[in-house]
Structure 1
Amino acid sequence: MNRIAVLGGANMDHVVRQPGLPRPGETMVGSGFSVGPGGTGLNQAVAAARMGAAVDFLGMVGADPHGEQLRGVLVTEGIHGAGLEWSPTPTGTTHTAVVDSGEKAIVVVPGANADLAELTEVQRSMITAAAFLVLQCELPVTALTEGLAIARDAGVFTVLTPASAMALPAGFLDLVDLIVPGRPVAAELSGENDPVRAAEVLSRGSRWAIVTLGEEGAVVAFDGSALGLAPARPVGMVDTTAAGDTFVGALVARLATGARRERTAEEPAGPAAAGPAGVTEAEMIDAVRWATVAASVSVTRPGAITSMPTLAEVTAILI
C-alpha cells in the first residue's frame, strides 16, 4: 500500500462553545468546553488513517501529559509514530472559539512544534519511504523545506496546506505538487480575490491547486487551468472545526488507496499528471469527491478528531 508521511503539528485543542465572538472587554457566557487532541498535522493524519490509508506521523511534542496523550492517539488510530520526537518545551496548544452558527476563531500556541527546526534521520527515512508527503505550516519553515527537498529527490508526491501566518521562502512552492489553501490564503498567495483565478495562478508550473470554499465547495486547477468547481454536499452544519483537515486527509488517502491503486501498468499517468507521483485528472476528481463527502460528515459533529468519519461511513454515502 502507498504510505502517507504527514509532517506537521500536534496540539491539544481547547474548545469553547459560545453564542458569538465577544467584543474587546466583553465577558460572555459559554455553553461548553472540551479538551482533546488536535493540530492540523495530527488531524490530517487521523483523517487519512480513518479513510484506510497507511500513515506515518512526523512531528514533536513535549515530555508532558499532553504529549503522552497525543502519542496515545497515534496508537489508537493505527498511525506509525516513530517520527514523533520529544521536546523539553511543553506540547503545543490550540484555543478555539466555536460560535453557535458553527463558525470558529482559533489561536495557536506552537509550543514543542516550534522546536522541530531540523528533521531527524528517522524522519528523513520515513519521507523517503512514502508515496505522499503531507505538510502544513505549523512547524518551522526550515523543517518543511528540508522535508520537501527530500521528497522531491525521492519522487514523493507533496501536498501543502499553507497558512497566511508563515512567510514562504523563494522557490518553496516549486517543490509542492498539490497546494490546498482556503479562500483567504489563496487570495494572499496568488494576489487574486476570485477563487477560480487564484487556483489557476497557484497551479502554474505543472502543479495541482485546490481552493476550498466551505459551503460553496472547492475549485480544482492544474497547470494554470481550472478544471471546475466541485460542489459541497449540503448538510446541517454543527461545527466546522477540522473540516479542512478532514478534506485534505481524506483526499490524500483516496489518492493513495483508491483510483491510483486501480491503474494498471498499461495505463500511464497521462498528459494531466503532476509531479513525480503522476496524479491524473480522473484520479484527482475522484479523490476530491471522496474528500468532499468526508468533510461534509465532519461538520455535522462537534470537535476535531471526534468529528472525522471512517472509510465505511463515507463509502456508505458514495456507493
Structure 2
Amino acid sequence: MDQARVVVVGSTNMDLVAKAAVLPRPGETVLGGEFVTVAGGKGANQAIAAVRAGAATRLLGAIGSDAFGVTLKARIDAAGVDTGLLRVVYGASGVALITVDAAGENTIVVSPGANGSFTDLDERERAAIAEAAVMLAQLEIPVETVTAAALAARSAGTRVVLNAAPARALPAELLDAVDLLVVNETEAVAISGESRPEPLLASVPRVVLTLGAQGAWYVDREGASVQVPGVRVETVDSTAAGDAFTGALAVAWAEGRELVEAVGWACAAGAACARKLGASTALPTRAEIDELWSVSRGPDRAS
C-alpha cells in the first residue's frame, strides 16, 4: 500500500513543561519537579503524530526568527515531518507554558508569536494541500487562514479534518468546507451550544466527540451513532493525547479505513501517548498504536 499523504495546517510552539505534585491555584506558587522543553503546538504535534502513525506528512505554518524557532524546525525535521514550506518570520516563535500534576492533568497558557502572522496561503501551500489525501487543521492560527485552507482542500478534492481547538465559535464558511469535525465537549458547546455531537450535524457531515479516557463518540448524517470505548492505561501526562488521537485519526482515514475503526485506532493512539511525559516526545509510533489497539480489542479481534 502506498504511504498515505497528510498535510497539517497549524501552529508550532516551544512547549515549556514543568511537572508538579499539584497545579497552582491563582496567586499560589508550588514547587515543581522535572522540567523539559519540547517542540509543540497543535499543528506540529498533530503533524508528528501523523508521521509516527505512518503517513507522509507536510506541515504548513510559521516559526519565529528566534532561538526557539531554530530549535523547533530542527526537532520537527528530526521527527520526519516535511517542513520545506514552514515559514520563518521575524520575531518570537509561539510558546506554551504547561504545568502537569501527579494525576496527569494540565494547565496551558499559549503565546502565539509567529503563529499569528500566518494570515494567508501562497500557491506552493495550496499545491501541497491539493496533493494530500487529508488536510488536518486546528484553531491556534488565524481562523481566516484555516478557512482558506479548508476551501482550497475542498476545491482540490482533499478531505478536511478540523480539530476545533481551542474552543470558539466558527464561521459558517469554514464549517461548510469541513468533512470531519473533531471536538471535545467544551468545543462542541462553543460551536452548537450543546455538549452532544448530534447538533453539530446541522453544520458538518461527520463528527467525532472526544471523551478523554472514556473514548470517543462518532456520528454522521447517514445515521451512525457509535460510542467507541477508550483504552485503559496508567496516565502519566495527558498533554498531547488529543493530538495523538487526531493525528492518528487523519492517517487512518487517509488510508481508507472505515471511520468507526479509525476512531478506535485513534483512541489507542491517545492512550499510548498518555503513558509518557511530554507533548511531541510522547507521541506514539504506529507499532505502539497497533499493539495497544490489538490488546484493547481482545482475543476475538472483532471488527
Relative to the length of structure 2, the TM-score reads 0.92
Q: How far, CA to CA, are the matches of 2:222 and 2:62 in structure 1?
A: 36
Q: Which amino acid aligns with 2:261?
A: D
In structure 1, what is the equivalent of residue 207 of structure 2?
209
Q: How far, CA to CA, are the matches of 1:50 and 1:164 in structure 2?
A: 24
- Going from structure 1 to structure 2, the CA distance change for 1:206 and 1:27 (only over 3 Å counts) comes to closer
Identity in percent? 39
Q: How many residues align?
A: 292
The partner residue of 1:115 within 117, 122, 147 is 117
Q: Given that residues 164 and 187 in structure 2 are in contact (C-alpha distance below 8 angstroms), is that contact kept between their aligned partners in structure 1?
A: yes
In structure 2, what is the equivalent of residue 232 of structure 1?
230
Q: How far, CA to CA, are the matches of 1:206 and 1:186 in structure 2?
A: 12
In structure 2, what is the equivalent of residue 18 of structure 1?
20
In structure 2, what is the equivalent of residue 279 of structure 1?
none
Q: Given that residues 205 and 224 in structure 1 are in contact (C-alpha distance below 8 angstroms), is that contact kept between their aligned partners in structure 2?
A: no
The partner residue of 1:94 within 88, 93, 96 is 96
In structure 1, what is the equivalent of residue 60 of structure 2?
58
C-alpha deviations, 1:270-304, integer Å up to 9, x for none?
xxxxxxxxxxxx71011111111111111111001
Q: Given that residues 238 and 300 in structure 1 are in contact (C-alpha distance below 8 angstroms), is that contact kept between their aligned partners in structure 2?
A: yes
Which segments of 5 or more consecutive residues in structure 1 lack a partner in the other structure? 261-281
Displacement of 1:130: 1.2
Residues 1:245 and 2:243 are matched in the alignment: yes
In structure 2, what is the equivalent of residue 34 of structure 1?
36
C-alpha deviations, 1:20-51, integer Å up to 9, x for none?
22222222111221111100010000011001
The partner residue of 1:287 within 240, 262, 265 is 262
Q: Which amino acid aligns with 1:232?
A: G
Q: Given that residues 200 and 225 in structure 1 are in contact (C-alpha distance below 8 angstroms), is that contact kept between their aligned partners in structure 2?
A: no
- Going from structure 1 to structure 2, the CA distance change for 1:84 and 1:227 (only over 3 Å counts) comes to same
CA RMSD of aligned residues (A): 1.6
Q: Given that residues 48 and 55 in structure 1 are in contact (C-alpha distance below 8 angstroms), is that contact kept between their aligned partners in structure 2?
A: yes
Q: Given that residues 181 and 204 in structure 2 are in contact (C-alpha distance below 8 angstroms), is that contact kept between their aligned partners in structure 1?
A: no
In structure 2, what is the equivalent of residue 219 of structure 1?
217
> Residue 239 of structure 1: SS of its match in structure 2?
coil
Q: Given that residues 13 and 40 in structure 2 are in contact (C-alpha distance below 8 angstroms), is that contact kept between their aligned partners in structure 1?
A: yes
In structure 1, what is the equivalent of residue 297 of structure 2?
none
Q: Given that residues 64 and 89 in structure 2 are in contact (C-alpha distance below 8 angstroms), is that contact kept between their aligned partners in structure 1?
A: yes
In structure 2, what is the equivalent of residue 308 of structure 1?
283
Which segments of 5 or more consecutive residues in structure 2 lack a partner in the other structure? 295-303
In structure 2, what is the equivalent of residue 182 of structure 1?
184
Q: How far, CA to CA, are the matches of 1:69 and 1:299 in structure 2?
A: 24
C-alpha deviations, 1:179-223, integer Å up to 9, x for none?
111111112212113xxxx21111235611001010111110001
> Residue 262 of structure 2: SS of its match in structure 1?
helix
Q: Which amino acid aligns with 1:73?
A: R
Q: Given that residues 7 and 57 in structure 1 are in contact (C-alpha distance below 8 angstroms), is that contact kept between their aligned partners in structure 2?
A: yes
- Going from structure 1 to structure 2, the CA distance change for 1:205 and 1:62 (only over 3 Å counts) comes to closer
> Residue 81 of structure 1: SS of its match in structure 2?
coil
The partner residue of 1:130 within 111, 132, 138 is 132
Relative to the length of structure 1, the TM-score reads 0.87
Q: Given that residues 169 and 191 in structure 2 are in contact (C-alpha distance below 8 angstroms), is that contact kept between their aligned partners in structure 1?
A: no
Q: Given that residues 201 and 224 in structure 1 are in contact (C-alpha distance below 8 angstroms), is that contact kept between their aligned partners in structure 2?
A: no
Q: Which runs of 4+ in 1 moved over 3 A?
A: 164-167
Q: Given that residues 236 and 275 in structure 2 are in contact (C-alpha distance below 8 angstroms), is that contact kept between their aligned partners in structure 1?
A: yes
The partner residue of 2:78 within 76, 80, 85 is 76
Q: How far, CA to CA, are the matches of 2:203 and 2:187 in structure 1?
A: 19
- Going from structure 1 to structure 2, the CA distance change for 1:225 and 1:202 (only over 3 Å counts) comes to farther
- Going from structure 1 to structure 2, the CA distance change for 1:19 and 1:318 (only over 3 Å counts) comes to closer
Displacement of 1:165: 4.9
